[in-house]
A and B are shown apart, each in its own frame.
Chain A
Amino acid sequence: MHSLLEYPFDSQAISRKRRSIRRELLSKPDLIEKRIAILGGSTTHDIREILELFLLDYGIRPVFYESEYGQYWQDAMFPPEELLRFQPELFYIHTTNRNISAFPGLGDTAQAVEALLDQEYARFCAMWDKLRETFHCPILQNNFEYPLYRLQGNREASDVHGRVHYITCLNLRFAGYAQAHDDFYINDINYLSAAYGLEKWADPFFWHMYKYALSLDAIPSLAFSLAKIIKSLYGKNKKALALDLDNTLWGGVVGDDGVENLVLGRETSMGQAYTEFQAYLKAHKDLGILLNVVSKNDYENAIAGLNHPDSVLRPDDFTVIKANWEPKSRNLLQMAQELSLLPESFVFADDNPAEREIIRQQVPGAAVPELQDVERYISQIDHGGYFEVTKLTADDRKRGEMYKENLARARLENSFADYGAYLLSLDMHAEIAPFAPVHMGRIAQLTNKSNQFNLTTRRCTQEEIEGFAADPACVTLCGRLSDRFGDNGIVSVAAGRAVGTRLDIFLWLMSCRVLKRDMEYAMMDELAAECLRRGLRSVRGYYYPTAKNGMVRDFYEKQGFTKLSEAEDGSTVWELDLTGGYTPKNKVIQIDRMGEETAT
């Protein structure tokens, strides 16, 4: 991360040095470009400029469309030619309580207030519906911050005529729309402004002078919040925590002080703070975040500490525990490899500044929050937004278990001399079928998260995925793999489009948790079979190199394709001739046919 953009940041420094920060960030490698349309109900210029910095920092290079001042609704309902040509991949609608058309009057009946709410909500709803059907892309929408003044004082919160009450109702309606619609996300400025301090956030100077609905100093907080949602949508969330033990999960040093003297539990203020931190970390398991330990300790002492009666986290809560005297950077890199994760997918939490520095230097891309006082550990990690949730699938909640099963498989593998015999012993079953409605969310998520085993690195929204599924020219396949240790869920996605008598594969990826299981052969067998059913005569594959997908450079060669061309940047085009039929390659996975699929 750019040092000036790291939480907690100095808003003034960001604002003032934005041009040089931008210059530095633009030189980062592998930036992905995204077209973002900002529709504003107030001035958005600085929001756009600061948002660009945070997105660049996440590896996303935005190109913006910005509506004319206050034209958010008109632009959405009657999209100008420029916006249509722009073909946005994402909308951000920056509206605030300055854009609420009318508030209840004190003389209104409860029914009249309800009708007013309906009317306001309908105005926004119409806009969202219109954008969804015209552009089929994700929408980020602010909810509303509370008003700066309260005519009736505290009663504004409970009286139906009160503005605080009215805004609360509107915000709930907005939340309802988000619950009912995919790819619609609330940017919670109600929370942001509260955390920031409403008086400072909504400083009227900026409204009257420049028609900014929030103060200039608050803009980095707003932009950071947006960037967190956007990077999550494009698969740039962190996936795992690597935690130190001594003075991070508990007070004291277990090897020196002994388990019985650790500061933990409800009896002391310090102990309570560590316990609360542990509970906060443990809750991440339900989000699918992997918890791991990287500690300089004897292994036995580490386990003894985690078995302390007041320890919320137990040895069993962790996927990998590295407790030894090796450098932490080496442990972290090794851990990443064991879990088939990229080192940059980790958040490293350690109270020791020297250890943090080593990780910063040796493991570029890993997040290293500044942890100083135990009572602030939670907010340091929480406000960093490393795990911003935009979709929560059933697979996410089970992820920790799946990785543990994987490690059990790895142990089993070591006990077999012959890899083929090992694969057979896994008793693998796969369901491979066209994209089905229940899986659309997971499929879109996979296209955005998979970096390594990904031939084209094409990122897709759920709506695009649904579009492929509905297109009769497309062959779509998603594969689910289970074995004697458990169900891996949907792990592989492929899609191609028929061009004449040829199928062009534009999407092919697999989760690294099922590497070397021959799942890619099972997928190709199904794809080839479907092509033959459709009377197609050849399949064309494309490989586009990135910094991360070197492992699939030879993918099509292994699949028996012939190389047609290679570009200067390393991109290759491959073809498989089907005129002489196709010989299935998978011999180790049992395929459960479509239609025999059990309900999930």
Chain B
Amino acid sequence: MSKAEIFEKLEEIFRDVFDDESLQIGERTTAADVDGWDSLSHIMLLSAIEDEFDIKFDMKAVQGLQDVGAMADLIGELL
């Protein structure tokens, strides 16, 4: 799966989770840029990503995620 495809799917997940159909995300998007992205919705977000891409994050990998770009890289590695 190409990085663009990963981003496309990610955007769909973000739109569902944060209930905002116009939400756009990019490499540098962080929690500070998205309304409602706090530590609690972060859990829901990760779980939705796992389900959509059919992958499983381990504890160690999840700890270091800085922005959506890093998230997409991690997904790419696990696919």
Contact = CB atoms under 8 A, between A and B. Distances in A.
Interface of A: 12, 15-20, 23, 45-46, 205, 208-210, 212, 216-217
Contact of B44 (A16, A205, A208, A209): A16
A208 B59 contact: yes
Contacts of B40: 45-46
Contacts of A16: 13, 16-17, 44, 48, 51
A61 B58 CA distance: 37
Given A16-B13, A19-B18, A23-B19, A216 B44 contact: yes
B47 interface: yes
Given A12-B51, A16-B48, A46 B16 contact: no
Interface in B5-25: 13, 16-19
B19 A216 contact: no
Interface string B42-66: 0110011001000000110010000
Interface of B is mostly: helix
Kindly list the 4 A-B residue pairs having the minimum CB-CB distance in the complex, ordered from nearest.
Answer: A19-B19, A12-B51, A16-B48, A216-B47
A202 to B, nearest CB: 16
Contact of A209 (B13, B16, B19, B62): B62
Q: Which of A16, A20, A212 has the most CB of B within 10 A?
A: A16
A504 B59 CA distance: 62
Contacts of A20: 16, 19
Given A205-B58, A208-B59, A209-B59, 6 more contacts: A15-B44, A16-B13, A16-B44, A19-B17, A19-B19, A217-B47
A216 B56 CA distance: 13
B60 to A, nearest CB: 11
Interface residues of B, number: 14
Nearest to A206: B43
A209 B51 CA distance: 18
Contacts of B48: 12, 15-16
A259 B73 CA distance: 66
Interface of A is mostly: helix
Contacts of A217: 47
A322 B47 CA distance: 48
Interface in B28-49: 40, 43-44, 47-48
B14 to A, nearest CB: 10
21 contacts: A12-B47, A15-B44, A16-B13, A16-B17, A16-B48, A18-B44, A19-B17, A19-B18, A19-B19, A20-B16, A45-B40, A46-B40, A46-B43, A46-B44, A205-B59, A208-B59, A209-B43, A210-B43, A216-B44, A216-B47, A217-B47
A45 B18 CA distance: 16
Contacts of B19: 19-20, 23
Contacts of A216: 43-44, 47
Contacts of B17: 16, 19
Nearest to A21: B19
B21 to A, nearest CB: 9
Contacts of A212: 43
Contacts of A210: 43
A257 B16 CA distance: 51
Nearest to A18: B44
A349 B48 CA distance: 34
A474 B42 CA distance: 52
Contacts of A209: 43, 59, 62
Contacts of A18: 44
A70 to B, nearest CB: 16
A130 B67 CA distance: 47
A538 to B, nearest CB: 53
Nearest to B16: A16
A13 to B, nearest CB: 9
B34 to A, nearest CB: 13
Contacts of B58: 205
B46 to A, nearest CB: 9
Nearest to A17: B16
A208 B62 CA distance: 12
A69 B43 CA distance: 16
A210 B62 CA distance: 12
A19 B62 CA distance: 24
A12 B58 CA distance: 19
